[in-house]
Every structure is written in structure tokens, then in C-alpha cells.
Amino acid sequence: MVPITPTYRTHLRRWGKGTELGGHSPHLRSGIVFGEPAPPERQTGLEVAGLGANSPMLAALDAAGHEYDRAARSEATWRAYRSDCEDFARWCESVGLGAFPASEETVARYLTYLADLGRRPATLSRRLASISVAHQMAGYASPAQSYVVRERLAGIRRSVGVAQRQASPAMTPEIRKMVRSLPDGLYGRRDRLVILLGFAAALRRSELAALDVEDVRWVPEGMEVTIRRSKTDQEGDGVVVAVPYGSHAETCPLRALGAWLDATGLVEGALIRSISRDASVSLEHRLGRRLSTKGVSLIVARAARRAGLDPNGVWTGHSLRAGLATSAAKAGVPDRVIMVTTRHKSRASLDRYVRAGKRWEQVAAASVGL
């Protein structure tokens, strides 16, 4: 084992920003990064033929290959891997242990450290996944798969529990309150669109932030929203979600979209954008880049505060998607119809929303004469 090196940290910061992301990255396999000499490479048929390891042809293939490897995961996933591995490397350096390659005992101790800090099992599982990917990309066996590490994680899960604090569902009454609390002007129109479209189409934060103007098509029944890529559709097959007109003007997602487009004049590119606070500049310069997923959550949380919703609730971008599923279940919409909109791949994923929506339909204690 060797301690983490400054050079390794330099490469780690570049994860997600260059071609070294590829599963066969020379940076991640070299002794410069991991402190050990790379294993000798076997000559390929091309090298035997005289093209050589450094030929332009092979270099071009490697560069293209690294881009394909990078595309295997989303940019958000690469950022998460980088952040997790940086945390692991810092901890290993602080206690004098080698980070890459790491022993199974080192990883097990790291889990204990995180658990003692109060980190949830879901966080520990994600850190393990990042450590595992980093080792496999470097050509090492993953210590995260060892018996010692798996038992340590199982013990932590049983000791602290695995329940996560879920986002509070913003159901129809909460949506109405949030929309009514919004200010007038450009900010209000954008935030209204975020809340109503995110709710009506059951969009994830990433899906909402990724929408372009061209992804929305007006039809006689309402509008059709094309989601080109999502958490459960990483290969980009795409899906179209139908969004109907609302029964009330103030909560109609189509009217909210029309008001936003009329105010901004947008005809292409990112649909949901950041807005400059400098009211003295032209509208063209007030509209910024595509809104981030964090920006979506901030809009929902801010609207929840303005509306006076439960201060103990967890109001995030996911509250919109969870709220639509729960509201629909409570209204008696069949599960299969809800799944068409939410695009859940399995009933198990949808069940927690359905159970919440139908919780009071049949209660055993209500029928036993208490």
C-alpha cells in the first residue's frame, strides 16, 4: 500500500472533464496515479504489425474509446464518483493508510468512520460504489466486494436502520398554495412553470432541467413533452408524456408555459433558465443558462416556505413527482395509468406513493367498534 499522492488528487479532480474517464484510461492505470508501476502490456496484433502503441491510428481509437466509456454514465454520476473518492482519499491520508489500491480492512474502517459521523447507510453504499468503480477502472480487484466489507455494512444497516427521510409529496392542495404564493413578473412565471409542469408530468429534477423548448409540442388535447433521457433511460430511447389542460387557470401547466414563453420570447434551447437579478439590463441578458437540478429544488423549497407549508416537511424538486403519484392514487387513478405518466419500471417503485394515497381507504381499526 502507498499513501495518496498529489498527482493522484490532480487526476481525481479531472474526473468527468476529460478523456481520462474511460474504463481503460492510461491515467488511472499508471503508476503516476496509483503509486505502483503499471503491469507490462501484451503486444497487440496491430503493434506486432508495426503500427506501434503510439501510432496516430491507435491514439485516435483510444480517444474515441474514452469518450464512449465516459458516456456510459451521466455527468452527475461521474461528479459523485469524484467527490466520494476525494473524501475517501482524504480520510486515508489523515490516518496514514493507502487509498488506491485499498485493503478490505481500510474500507471497512472507513465505513465505521462514516457511520460514527452519522452518515446514512444509503450514503455508505454510494461511497462503496465509487470506491469499487475507481479500483476496477485501475485494473484492481474491488475491496468493496469483500466479505469483511459486506459484513461491516450489514452490521451498520441493522444498527442504525435504513429508512431515509423522504421528500414530502406536494399534492394538489399544496400545489395550489405554492402557486398562489408566487410573485408577479419573470421570476413568478418561471417558478409557476417549474411547479406545474414538474407536477403534471411527474418529472424528475434532471428531466425538468434538461427540457428544451423544442421538447414541448402543442396538441388539441394539451401538450406532449418529450423526455429524451432520464434516470431509468440512460441510453436515450426517449419517452413522450401527455400533459392535459388544467381545470383552473391558475394551476394549468399549459397556461403557465404560454405565459413564460410570451414573457421571454424563447423559441429554442433550454426551456427553464436562470434569471439575473439586475433589472436594468435587457431581457436577453437577464435570461441566463439552463437552470440546474439544484435550482429546481430551491424553487420548490422557496415556494413551500412562502405558502406556509409544513416547516417540518422535506420540500424538494422530488416533491412534485411524488405529489402527482400520491394525488393520483388518492383520486382512484389505476396504478397502470399512473405508471404511464411517472414512467416507473416496476410496481415496487410506485407502491410507496400508492400506499400513501390509499392509506385511509380501508382501515381495519375503523370497523371493529372502538
Catalytic residue among 204, 205, 330, 343: 204
**Residue 167 placed within a domain:** no
For residue 353, count CB atoms less than 10 angstroms from its CB and return exposed for 0-12, middle for 13-18, buried for 19 or more: buried
**Residue 362 placed within a domain:** no
pLDDT for the residue numbered 18: 38
Catalytic residue among 29, 82, 318, 343: 318
CA distance readout (Å), 336 to 49, 237, 260, 351: 58, 21, 32, 11
The amino acid present at 193, given as its one-letter code, is: L
pLDDT for the residue numbered 214: 93
**Residue 112 placed within a domain:** yes
Told to judge if 150 belongs to the known catalytic residues of this protein, a careful annotator would answer: no
Catalytic residue among 135, 190, 192, 344: 344
**Residue 370 placed within a domain:** no
pLDDT digits 0-9 by tens, 229-262: 765 555 556 788 889 998 899 999 999 999 999 9
Catalytic residue among 8, 81, 110, 353: 353
The amino acid present at 346, given as its one-letter code, is: S
Q: Which residue has the cell 417540518?
A: 312
Told to judge if 347 belongs to the known catalytic residues of this protein, a careful annotator would answer: no
DSSP state of 21: G
Backbone angles phi, psi at 121, to 5 degrees: -55, -35
Could you tell me the residue range of the domain that residue 55 belongs to? 6-160
Q: Please check whether residue 321 is in contact with residue 303, taking contact to mean a CB–CB distance below 8 angstroms.
A: no
Same structural domain, 237 and 261 = yes
| Domain termination residue (choose one: 160, 191, 225) | 160
Same structural domain, 281 and 245 = yes
**Residue 366 placed within a domain:** no
Same structural domain, 181 and 146 = no
Cα distance between residue 142 and residue 129, in whole Å:
9
Residue 123 CA to its chain's centroid (Å) = 14
Same structural domain, 18 and 52 = yes
**Residue 166 placed within a domain:** no
E strand intervals along the chain: 216-219, 222-227, 239-244, 273-275, 287-290
Same structural domain, 155 and 179 = no
- Tell me the CB-side half-sphere exposure of residue 272, using CA atoms within 13 A: 26
| Domain termination residue (choose one: 126, 160, 194) | 160
Same structural domain, 20 and 136 = yes
Domain count across the chain: 2
Told to judge if 318 belongs to the known catalytic residues of this protein, a careful annotator would answer: yes
DSSP state of 41: P
Told to judge if 321 belongs to the known catalytic residues of this protein, a careful annotator would answer: yes
Same structural domain, 192 and 148 = no
* Residue 40, domain CATH: 1.10.150.130
Same structural domain, 181 and 321 = yes
pLDDT digits 0-9 by tens, 55-69: 777 878 877 777 777
pTM of the model: 0.61
Same structural domain, 116 and 260 = no
| Mean pLDDT for all residues in the chain | 77
Told to judge if 248 belongs to the known catalytic residues of this protein, a careful annotator would answer: no
Q: Please check whether residue 178 is in contact with residue 307, taking contact to mean a CB–CB distance below 8 angstroms.
A: yes
Catalytic residue among 231, 285, 294, 347: 231
Catalytic residue among 273, 321, 330, 343: 321
Cα distance between residue 13 and residue 85, in whole Å:
10
Q: Which long-range contacts (CB under 8 A, 24 or more apart) does 270-279 make?
A: 270/211, 270/212, 270/213, 271/211, 271/212, 271/213, 271/215, 271/216, 272/190, 272/193, 272/194, 272/208, 272/209, 272/211, 272/296, 273/190, 275/186, 275/187, 275/190
**Residue 363 placed within a domain:** no
Instruction: Verify cis geometry, omega within 30 degrees of 0, for the bond prior to 101.
Output: yes
Same structural domain, 229 and 99 = no
pLDDT digits 0-9 by tens, 6-27: 434 444 444 444 333 333 333 3
For residues 198-213, average pLDDT: 91
- List helix spans (H) across 72-204: 75-95, 104-116, 121-137, 147-160, 172-180, 185-200
What b/e readout covers 25-62, taking b as 16+ CB neighbours within 10 angstroms? bebbbbebbbbbeeeeeeeeeeeeeeeeeeeeeeeeeb
**Residue 369 placed within a domain:** no
Higher pLDDT, 282 or 51: 282
For residue 145, count CB atoms less than 10 angstroms from its CB and return exposed for 0-12, middle for 13-18, buried for 19 or more: middle
Question: Is the pLDDT assigned to residue 50 strictly greater than 80?
Answer: no
Told to judge if 11 belongs to the known catalytic residues of this protein, a careful annotator would answer: no
Q: Count the neighbouring beta carbons within 10 Å of the beta carbon of residue 284.
A: 8
Same structural domain, 94 and 50 = yes
Report residue 111 as a C-alpha cell.
465505513
| Reported confidence tier of residue 114, pLDDT bands at 50, 70, 90 | confident
